[in-house]
Amino acid sequence: MNQIIRAAFLDAILVGRPAELAEAREEEFRRQADRIATRKEKAEAEQFDAGDILTVAIVAGATAIQIEQLSERTDLHQQLVIEALQENRLAIDASQEDLDRLLDQAHVLEDGRRVFETRDGTAVIDEYGNKVADDIITPGEVDDTRPDAETYLARRDAHIALMKEQTDLLAYQRELDRFDQAIAAGNLSQDDVARMQDFMDTQAPAAIRAKLPASDPASQGPSASLSPTEPQATAIQDGLMTKAEFDPSSLFK
């Protein structure tokens, strides 16, 4: 990731605009709650009987069973996306509080940067993961009672991973919305149905895969861990940047 973009993003999530991000997360949480209510009302009001499905299938070229299976599967994935986003929001809030606590306890330089000493006492890194030059501060000048660099970087990477998970879930939700619109329009071919099923098989985020029943093909896919291993001191000495790559512009599109 471009270093300037990375620094701007870390400013936003760590020390820059926590109120704005909290407001954005709250708005997203409300939007997901509205989706739950809307889908519940739709399920109660809509009776999509076999005759309707058959009519759509004949026009579109897909079989009634294919359409019905696709509709049921997208409904399930939509429900699980909403659940995962709500859980993700709570995890992000808790993670942000943890980061704020570590940053509050960190040593603060004259230029305002928070810094952390590595456990082996050989280097000092700032809140962005950059090694701080010895002519600015030496490891011995950081009080041993303050949080160490490895703890801070591991928590920061986990936080970025949660933000990435949120972005992936929202992107997946947008695709499912397109699928629902296509099903309602009734112009699906068998190839269209196959492509949608394949997309869910291969592109469902790990947070969704973990919730799916074993009968869903997507449940057999790989799941990415949200708990990065702690950075090594040698990597920090070489000028460590975060291991999690993230595009801040993708948040809450």
Angle (CA) 171-174-179 rounded to 5° is 130
Phi, then psi, of 128 in degrees rounded to 5: -95, 0
Query: CA-to-CA distance for 214 and 30, rounded, in angstroms?
Result: 30
Per-residue 3-state assignment (H helix, E strand, C coil) for 147-173: CEHHHHHHHHHHHHHHHHHHHHHHHHH
Q: What residues of the chain score a pLDDT lower than 70?
A: 1-61, 222-253
Q: What confidence score (pLDDT) does residue 208 get?
A: 97
Q: What is the pTM for the complete model shown?
A: 0.69
Length of the chain equals: 253
Q: What confidence score (pLDDT) does residue 242 get?
A: 34
Q: What confidence score (pLDDT) does residue 50 get?
A: 44
Strand partners, 108: 114
Contact 244, 226 (CB under 8 A): no
Q: Model confidence over 62-82: pLDDT tens digits?
A: 788 999 999 999 999 999 999
Q: What confidence score (pLDDT) does residue 38 get?
A: 63
Residue 193 in tokens: 């149905």
Q: Maximum Cα–Cα distance for the chain, whole Å?
A: 78
Q: In this structure, which amino acid lies at residue 152? A: Y
First to last CA, the chain: 20
